[in-house]
Every structure is written in structure tokens, then in C-alpha cells.
Amino acid sequence: MRLITGKMTVREVKLPYLANVTKCPIISDKYKIEFPCLPEGEFSESVIELSNKSGKNYTIEVVPPTNGLCGLTVNPLVKPIEAGKSTLVSVKFDSLFRDLTYKSH
């Protein structure tokens, strides 16, 4: 870190620190989900397996954008996962969310 001690002078100061970096113990079987282009009123669903690879129990919470904005529905939104276990989460895309009557001025 550099401190300005005057108009023309600076002083370097070293501050000791400790950083604990932990890896997320929840892993997914998919890293990318792609949904096809669909006609209005149809939907596509993908199921993700989330695994807890740690020795602690965790509760996951998925926070998707508003359904009316993107057409995504996630179920369940909140789910406890015991240590060493996994759970399934459904991500559904519904093409009906689109407002095809929108007109720009």
C-alpha cells in the first residue's frame, strides 16, 4: 500500500494479512443449460443434479430472474442437501412469457 505523505513524497507500507479461500462444496452435473427456440406456448425442461461433496449439511437457494422476464421456473427454489448426498433441481423454460404485442415508439 502506498501512502501520500506530502506533495512530492510517498511511503510504502506492507500490511500482513491472511486469506482463507474455500472451494464451493456444492457441484452440478451440468455447467451450461441450453434451451431450444420454441413456438409460443411450448416448454422445455432440464434437470440438474446438485451434489454436496462436503461433510456438512447445506441448504441451497436458487434465485432465477422473474418468470415474466425470462420464462424460467426453478423447482425447488430452496432445498436442504445432507452431507455426501445429492438432489435434483428442475429448470423449465416456457416460451409463453414473451410479449409479442410490444411495439416501440
- Residue 76 clears pLDDT 70, i.e. is over it: yes
- Residue 78 clears pLDDT 60, i.e. is over it: yes
pTM for the predicted model, two decimal places: 0.67
- Which CATH number does the domain housing residue 86 bear? 2.60.40.10
In tens, the pLDDT along 38-51 reads 888 888 999 999 99
Decide if 85 is inside a domain: yes
What residues make up the domain containing 66? 24-97
The set of cell numbers assigned to 79 is 432445498
Q: How many domains does the chain have?
A: 1
Sign of CA dihedral 44, 30, 83, 77: negative
Give the C-alpha separation, 78 to 45, whole Å.
18
Give the mean pLDDT of the chain.
84
Decide if 73 is inside a domain: yes
Q: What is the pLDDT of residue 14?
A: 80
| Listed range (25-29, 54-58, 75-79, 94-98) with the worst mean pLDDT | 94-98
